[in-house]
Amino acid sequence: MLRHSLVALALLAVAAPSQAQLARSFSSATYTGVGAAQLKADFDNLKTAYNLDAIGGYHIVPKQPWGAISAELNLGVTVSPGRNEGPPQTTTTPGGGGIIGGGGGGTTTTEEGRFTNSDNDLQAFILNVQGVYRTPGRFYGIGTVGFGLISTSIEEIEESGRTSASFGGGIGFKFGEETAAVELLYTRVSDELQTIGFRLIY
């Protein structure tokens, strides 16, 4: 966890925006950004983890009346792991006593859901290359599709493959017509992982 935190701090130091960058993010060919996101896995015994993101992008098709298209590299590192709550809970209800003979048998109930067999907390390193479409206007919609490299602490996710197609969507708001923007983005990283968080693009 300490190693991941140091990597994340280094990413933020490298990606920290200057005043000039904040003023030109959508008027130049390239852009950068930083973000923070919740990381969720499709296992009922894993709590939410938190990632820091570093973003680099290139405007393939600059602003047009119908929108803009960019190529983007997104690097996410877990800084706060999601707690593993262990195997499903089993409860036993005692049987009632009969009038004649001994009491009846008890009932055993196991918690329903999908559970990982891993003992590890949820952590992930995600490197995602994606195409991004943004609608025109200061308040805009976002659509993404891409391909990512994923390394996690959960064995079932690792066994399903370290690469995966991704897709997502969100909304954004530019502080000025050609200046920095804040975005809320959801990404389905793989069949078992998804993120949602805020990004500052500059």
Encode pLDDT of 69-119 as tens digits. 999 999 999 999 999 998 876 656 665 555 555 555 555 555 678 899 999
Rounded to an integer, the average pLDDT of 4-19 is: 51
In this structure, what CATH number is given to the domain that contains residue 187? Answer: 2.40.160.20
Domain-located, residue 168: yes
Domain-located, residue 91: no
Domain-located, residue 105: no
Using only C-alpha atoms, the chain has a radius of gyration, in whole angstroms, of 23
Domain-located, residue 64: yes
Q: Write the CB contacts of 84 (distance below 8 Å, at least 6 apart in sequence).
A: 45, 46, 47, 116, 118, 119, 120, 121, 122
Q: Where do we find the tokens 């975005």? A: 183
Among 52-66, 82-96, 154-168, the range scoring the smallest mean pLDDT is 82-96
Tell me the residue range of the domain where 137 lies.
Answer: 2-13+22-85+110-201
The answer to whether the CB of 199 falls within 8 A of the CB of 55 is: yes
Q: How many CB atoms lie within 10 A of CB 143?
A: 16
Query: What pTM value is reported for the model?
Result: 0.77
Domain-located, residue 102: no
Domain-located, residue 103: no
Domain-located, residue 99: no
Quote the mean pLDDT of the chain: 84
Looking at residue 75, its amino acid is L
Domain-located, residue 95: no
The answer to whether the CB of 143 falls within 8 A of the CB of 132 is: yes
How far is it, in rounded angstroms, from Cα 202 to Cα 200?
7
Query: Which of 23, 16, 14 lies closest to 174, judged by CA?
Result: 23
